[in-house]
Structure 1
Amino acid sequence: MEVVTGSLPSVITKLGELLIGEYDLQKGVKGEIRFLQAELESMKGAHEKISRTPADQLDNQDKIWARELRELSYDIEDNIDMFMVHVKGKKQAELQGMKKFIDTSVTLFRKAKIRRRIASEIKDIKIRVEEVAKRHDRYKINSDVAKPVKIDPRLFTQYTKVTELVGVDEASDELIKTLEEKNEASMQQHGKIVSIVGFGGLGKTTLANAVYEKIRAQFDCCATVSVSQTPDMKKLFKGLLNDLGKNTNEELLDEQRLIRVFREFLQEKRMKQVKQGPNLA
């Protein structure tokens, strides 16, 4: 889900600008600005996390909070911009004598009044920011409830009967022929890898499983494993061992020991392994 971040990055930067330069804010106001910076930075992180979550896994409260935070950031930026413009004001003309003194006095009075107003507005903004943060926590009723997990559609093809598939025989026979082209002794010694490459939805997994079902009887053991771009190797090898029927207490083994058990189990065995990698983007 793409969630517009509003003015949050800009607001955080502008709050930093208020702490330096010519704005001459009261010490207490600076402390509240630093608080706002830290609070908005944390909110920005939470907002970015929401933006990376698929829309079907977001509850309505997440969406409401993201919209409320976005609107708040626009309001804060408007207030900061107005304050900056008033404090800087128009550039002083080259005035002389009493006229220059009067103009300078009026400007200083005006700026002091504006600083008092911004101090009041910063306090109001702080209250609003705190309320937005508390409201999110107060109504975050689904924090302990498991959200729907998106199931990899490739998993369903593993349980489809080959006889129910249409048009797969010719492709699977061609792939089997490719697998058998190498010298038999060479295959036993070194194994062979064949990649089925293509965009999502083309039937790569279906084809691999069709081949798997046709030639699995030729091998001592077979296994199917789905590999993501950042796989959990321990989970991967535990799944392989389970597929191979190897009974072992995997919970007590680390990744390296699992690999060793896997290697020892496959000694002197012929194995057909189907690996499913990520689709092309």
Structure 2
Amino acid sequence: MAETVVNFVLGKLGDMIVKEAQSLGQVGDKVKWVETELTRIKCYLTDADSKRRKGDARAENWLNELRDVAYRIEDATDTFYVEIEDNRQGVEGSSHKHRGFLAKLKRFGHKTTKLPALCKLGTELDDIKKVLEGISKSKVDYDIDPLQERGKGETVLMPLRRATYQDVDETEIVGFDADKNNVCKLLRDTETPRRAVLTIVGPGGLGKTTLAHMVYKSVQADFSFHIMLPVSQQYNPINLLRKMLTKLKGSEPSTQEIGDLISELKDLLSSERYLIILDDVWVIDLWNQYLKHALRA
């Protein structure tokens, strides 16, 4: 039910506003707008679901659109935490080698490491705002009324919470051990000298990001090169390849040509054992058009 997902996402947005109140800046206003608009739309869910149960296709479509954008909001918040954690670890690693400015970054709470992630989150929230505005307006066309009385005996099940990189504590996670161990076993299979591709698939909210991060933490030491990057629904292949190379090499590539980036990535990894985890991948074209050539065995 869409109400379950909306309640879950509203909780995540509220947590973000509390935890990141001092660092979100203008992006915080966008987070609050999304939270407020979702709260308003939530008032219409009971009537929309009642109409859906009676076979109203328009109401069902409206609920599906709302559910999809709620998952998109969840993915945007998770990606934000993934990126600031990744950047934070990068600064910590660098500060051991370079004192001075980078060390100061650590003392100041790594505020500057959040800037790219904040920009990305702000851009995604701008797009989400447009979708939510469209959903809000369409309720009039679909004749969906607010605050209808909920039917007696109806219950709402709360979903499994999808943890972010920032708050993952493996001692508190239940139900992932078997899956984590299975994936780790496959990744550690040294009898497979060729390139191997593993996928974790499923609907939003299952904990795919959490599982991937647990696997990454467990096996990264077994590989000469290892990175974990978020991709998201709208990605730029050139920027993604440049980011991969930057994190793998420790320096930015000089080229902007996609062919050169693919060649450089292939040359870097061709004789090494490496692990690349890409989180939040929406389309197979990312692999077919770009990565399978760069990561060719």
Task: Bin the TM-score by the shorter chain.
Answer: 0.3 to 0.5
In the superposition, the TM-score normalised over structure 2's length comes to 0.40
Asked which structure has the greater CA Rg, the reply is 1
- TM-score, normalised via structure 1 length: 0.42
